[in-house]
Amino acid sequence: MGLLILSQVILSFQLPFALVPLVQFSGDKSRMGQFANSWWVAALAWLTAAVIGALNALLILLIFRGNS
């Protein structure tokens, strides 16, 4: 069971590295043209990426403090 949890923690750390370039790319009008995200979708996507990053930072802090 511990190995499964560890694998999920590692996967959660990799998520922002995929999410941030995806949000940047999908919001770029020069690349996406008419399919680029509108301002409110981009704002929601950046907010989601920030929340995920903050939760990952909190998880790292709790792991190193020994409160997992």
Q: Three-state secondary structure along the chain?
A: CHHHHHHHHHHHHHHHHHHHHHHHHHHCHHHHHHHCCCHHHHHHHHHHHHHHHHHHHHHHHHHHHCCC
Question: Would 46 be classed as within a structural domain?
Answer: yes
The predicted-structure confidence for 18-67, as pLDDT tens digits, reads as follows 999 999 999 999 999 999 999 999 999 999 999 999 998 888 888 778 75
| Domain range for 56 | 39-68
Question: Would 15 be classed as within a structural domain?
Answer: no
Question: Would 28 be classed as within a structural domain?
Answer: no
Question: Would 49 be classed as within a structural domain?
Answer: yes
Question: Would 6 be classed as within a structural domain?
Answer: no
Is there a contact between 60 and 10 (Cβ–Cβ < 8 Å)?
Answer: no
Is there a contact between 52 and 19 (Cβ–Cβ < 8 Å)?
Answer: yes
pTM: 0.76
Question: What is the tally of structural domains in the chain?
Answer: 1
Question: Would 4 be classed as within a structural domain?
Answer: no
Question: Would 60 be classed as within a structural domain?
Answer: yes
